[in-house]
A and B are shown apart, each in its own frame.
Chain A
Amino acid sequence: MNMEPKSFQLFPESASNFAPSVDGLYLYMVLISAFFSLLVAFLIIFFAVKYRNRPGAGVPKPINDHSIGGMILEITWSVIPLGLSLVMFAWGASIMFKESRPPKDSLNIYVTGKRWMWKIQHLEGAREINELHVPVNRDVRLTMTSEDVIHDFYVPAFRTKADVLPGRFTTEWFRPTRIGAYHIFCAEYCGTKHSGMIGTVYVLSAEDYDKWLAQGSGEGSMAEEGESLFRQLGCANCHIKDGHGRAPNLYGAFGMKVDLADGSSVRFDESYTRESILYPQAKIVAGYDRIMPTFKGLISDEGMLKLIEYIKSLGDPNGVISERNLPLESPDLQKTGPMMPPASEMPKAPAAAGKAAPAAGTATGNQATGRQQ
């Protein structure tokens, strides 16, 4: 594994499944741009020389640009660039569609941004700071959140980045294709040591990765730790296994559609889980009472990730999938999780419920208004 700092570079290394397609698109755009730049430069220089002012030259005759020929010329130099650039649009859009849909069996890793470091947590329990170890040729999905300001997880060698936002989860995925060590940069300005918020991705062979995982942290897996947290906090008292508790069933529920009391629905994802733990009144599941207390201030950010991982790991012991838990085909929701509602405006009484709608556009609109009791 080459770890030596390079002294000079002309082009970034290509180390992920996305890199070749992004580079291909770049080449196309550079060629088009070079062609038009040179064309314009040639025309200007050629006209400047050929039609330079000569002694005795009279006033040039104006050209009738309202003729049919003039019209054709204007349309030509509008439509050809438009056509070429729509190719860029479609090509770029197809790449981004791929980037926004992590494969189902991706290796899931949690990333937390904090001024000015990256905290990484593996499902098996290993934790690292400003380093990310991943196996080569496996789809890796990062689920990311920030503890403070907006950051951005950028790996130039993978040609991909995504903003890391406080209060919600965003995802980014890639399949590393070359063993090596690559820069991680924070690409969204985040204050004093923004340029120090850097790290290294180590792409390891499958065996090296297993070896690396084995030396682990000595702690249990995230799901195991999440389970003990789940018991400590008393979640299991209401969210019981058979689905007939005072609170909704959590078994087999992750990733499903959840019907809410106001008639709308939401996808049971990381952001929804987090929101429901910190602001349980924001979205009430249809058929249940508004009884869950908030756990804000009681759970650390790492603890939250462990709880989420535990809930994800819950299978479906009795085949209890209620009819409302239908899979929802909308993977891009994972890219843009719902917003948390304003903490200060949580409905304390039904009269205030109308104000509880989250600040920004989610599919669910006015969640809390439906339930007046």
Chain B
Amino acid sequence: METAAGSRGLEIGDEEASFEVFFERRFASVARALVLVTGDEAEAEEVTEEAFARAWDRWDRVKTMASPVGYVYRTAVNLNRNRVRGIARELRRQRPPDRLADPAETAGDRDRIRRALAALPLNQREAIVFVGLFGLDTEEAAAALGIKPASLRSRLHRARAELRKHIGELDE
């Protein structure tokens, strides 16, 4: 543990070596990305907390990885997938696009975008968040999601097309 007590000069050393520092610095960014995948803030916080707990459980190994935060992202996304699978009829959960287009139901820009994302199939949602928000390139995102780069590009293309329909301001 990196503490003020243990560091005359109070310099933080290798940030990835201390789980606590890693957790403090990365928690919010992971949860913010996951809110777009899960569509719900409480769910995003829950899977993020669980993902960090699992990273902590095997921190000796995780901290030596090229990207510990990438591990947490992957874990969180997988946890969310399991959560979705566990819910009966979850595959039917996407809301019909015609409802999304109703401006009367728009409760603001944020909700509009979240609803448009929620209308995407889960695998497209993951793809677009990994690339668009995590900032991974297609090769990295494909590896993280365990699919071929070509599949990822295909999902991205379809996701962008769907989003463009509902948001209308998305460039290729």
The answer to whether A and B belong to the same complex is no
Identify the A interface with B (CB < 8 A). Answer: none
Identify the B interface with A (CB < 8 A). Answer: none
